[in-house]
Amino acid sequence: MSNYQFEVSAFNNLIAFIIGTCIGSFVNVIIHRFPLNESVFHPRSHCRNCKSIIPWYRNIPLLSWLMLRGKCSKCNSEISVIYPLTEFLFGILLMLNNYCQSANLITISPILQKIMSGLLLSILFSLALIDYIYLWVPKSIVNVGIITGLTYQTLFMITTTNIGSLLLASEHIIAAFLGYITFLLISKIGSYIFKKPSMGMGDAKIAALLGAWLGIKGLGLSVWLSFFVSGIIVGVGLILKLIKPGQLIPFGSFLSISGIMVWVLGDKLVVSLILLKPLDFFN
């Protein structure tokens, strides 16, 4: 387990926020091009309406949208507020990453931990948004998350001489399989009972990803939180007639956001929040 102090300063937070808005900007590209089967790198950023290429100085995360007041400089068509909002949210998320003391990642260097943690947050954040917008979990993104998580843990298992690290790493690998198999079973049983697909394979893959990164306890907490929160939202939605019976729910978004919460806040704080005793955590 890592025992180091990452110094959180205003400067570190500013840097994390700026990097976060840049990643957010890239996440925007993924969100809008991936489902259309367009390349993430070509063509360069362009206006969705007039197709004119956006020069780099008009493509600065957050600032450009504010300076252009949300309009394309060529054709004056509106640029959705979703873009700067995604950049802003991700900036905040990466700033929170500075405070995250996740014991789930055994590491030799604080910088490596921040990078790995930032990668995980980028993946979960993109998955949450894409599943919410398109009801779809892109295989390539979730696979990157599973493979990096498992590779990282395996490398640690092979190289460590510390028995604690060895146990933690192997527990994460087991958790990945457990997560996948559990959701596979839920999906099969659901299809059998309801005679139609009730939970996608994408959800099983997100569960594997969460297992690899968060371990058994973190996975269990994230899954519990997802069912609990989605249950409340669907219940209220049905009562208010905002959701139709049988309507598909982006469960992958709930899983991803719960995973982000457990990762950033840590197992203990999430447990005390679930028990509605957040103050116990700080005492």
Please give the residue ranges that form the binding site for Zn ion (CB under 5 A).
Answer: 47, 49-50, 72, 74-75
Q: Are 253 and 132 in contact (CB under 8 A)?
A: yes
Q: How far apart are the first and last CA of the chain?
A: 23
Q: Which is nearer to Zn ion, 72 or 93 (CB)?
A: 72
Alpha-carbon distance values, 204 to 24, 128, 183, 221 (Å): 25, 14, 5, 15
Q: Is 142 exposed, middle or buried (0-12, 13-18, 19+ CB in 10 A)?
A: buried
What phi and psi, each to the nearest 5 degrees, are found at residue 259?
A: -60, -45
Q: Which is nearer to Zn ion, 33 or 74 (CB)?
A: 74
Shortest gap between Cβ of 25 and Zn ion (angstroms)?
18
Distance separating alpha carbons of residues 225 and 259, to the nearest angstrom: 9
Shortest gap between Cβ of 51 and Zn ion (angstroms)?
7
Q: Which is nearer to Zn ion, 75 or 236 (CB)?
A: 75
Q: Which is nearer to Zn ion, 50 or 189 (CB)?
A: 50
Shortest gap between Cβ of 37 and Zn ion (angstroms)?
22
Shortest gap between Cβ of 52 and Zn ion (angstroms)?
5
Q: Which is nearer to Zn ion, 14 or 50 (CB)?
A: 50
H/E segment holding residue 82: helix 82-97
Shortest gap between Cβ of 82 and Zn ion (angstroms)?
16
Distance separating alpha carbons of residues 196 and 188, to the nearest angstrom: 10
Tokens read off for 49: 């309406």
Distance separating alpha carbons of residues 44 and 56, to the nearest angstrom: 10
Shortest gap between Cβ of 65 and Zn ion (angstroms)?
13
Q: Which is nearer to Zn ion, 74 or 217 (CB)?
A: 74
Nearest to 11 by CA among 89, 93, 98: 98
Place of tokens 């978004």: 253
